Amino acid sequence: MVFENDKIFIEVEPFEIPWLKVFAKRSCKEWSECDKETKEEILKAIDIIERAMIDYFNPDKINIASFGNMLPQVHWHVQARFKNDSYFPNPVWGEKRREAHLELPDIAEFIERVRKDLEEGL
């Protein structure tokens, strides 16, 4: 668990790229079922995470996506992408294009930094 408050919680998806998932805490299958405050909290969190990823990892691109086919609970994926990651330019759910060996800064340190940013910003 990266962060939690009364509206949202944030988890790390273990993968070769930095990848956080922002969840609505209240059970809601669709974005339209979320109350205004939860929507605002999710969007603020995504913004904070994106900025932190750019600052810390210097990725080539940030991907932000909302899917729920496997897990029917509102959640957003925030991913730092690199031209030399295994899937780029495909989505990480797509076809792997190469074997990558990324040399990235420590994810644990990033988690501590982003947790602090979230605590201050939310």
pLDDT tens by residue, 61-70: 999 999 877 7
Question: Is 120 within a domain?
Answer: no
Question: Is 122 within a domain?
Answer: no
What was the pLDDT predicted at 72?
85
pLDDT average, residue stretch 41-57: 98
Question: Is 56 within a domain?
Answer: yes
Range of the domain at 78: 3-104
Question: Is 66 within a domain?
Answer: yes
Residue 60's identity, in one-letter code, is: D
Q: What is the reported pTM?
A: 0.95
Split into its structural domains, the chain has a count of 1
Distance CA 76, CA 48 (A): 13
Question: Is 113 within a domain?
Answer: no
CATH code: domain of residue 68: 3.30.428.10
74 within 8 A of 23, measured Cβ to Cβ: yes
Long-range CB pairs of 104-107 (<8 Å, 24+ gap) are: 104/18, 104/57, 105/56, 105/57, 107/12, 107/18
What was the pLDDT predicted at 71?
80
